[in-house]
């Protein structure tokens, strides 16, 4: 992704992510975001969460298959999304420790404990020195 700190989610992607969050609640949902142009997210792929109820850890095989599908569509993976049922859009300590790539955006979707609206989405980007900068999500 370019140095700009803003991304745009298509309406279809936003609705699809919200539906995924609703279905997974109260577990955290996790997936990949992708597009043809940096900063413009036009696709997402749901991933299997193999962590416990208040955490996420993407299944490596489901991620492999999702990345392959994205590549076959001629798109690029630009980051992850995951949800915080009953929480906010800030990254947790675990989220920060898993967010290693500086070229990806990390989205956090806040929703009710049962996946109900209102949905809020926060975006973050990790710098090479390990600091996290907010990303505007439009």
- Residues 2-24 have pLDDT tens digits of 455 799 999 999 999 999 999 99
Which tokens in the block code for residue 84? 């915080």
Global pTM value: 0.93
- Residues 35-93 have pLDDT tens digits of 999 999 999 999 999 998 888 999 999 999 999 999 999 999 999 999 999 999 999 99
Domains of the chain are 6-137 (3.40.140.10)
CA dist., res. 20 & res. 136, Å (int): 22
Burial level of 55, CB count in 10 A (0-12/13-18/19+)?
middle
């Amino acid at each position: 992704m370019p140095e700009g700190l803003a991304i745009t989610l298509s309406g279809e992607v936003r609705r699809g992510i919200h539906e995924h969050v609703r279905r997974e609640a109260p577990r955290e949902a996790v997936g990949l975001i992708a597009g043809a142009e940096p900063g413009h997210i036009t696709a997402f792929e749901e991933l299997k969460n193999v962590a416990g109820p208040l955490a996420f850890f993407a299944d490596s095989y489901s991620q492999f298959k999702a990345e392959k599908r994205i590549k076959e569509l001629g798109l690029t993976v630009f980051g992850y999304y995951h949800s915080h049922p009953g929480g906010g859009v800030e990254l947790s300590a675990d989220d920060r420790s898993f967010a290693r790539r500086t070229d990806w955006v990390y989205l956090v979707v806040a929703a009710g404990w049962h996946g109900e609206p209102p949905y809020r989405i926060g975006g973050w980007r990790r710098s090479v020195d390990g600091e996290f900068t907010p990303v505007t999500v439009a």
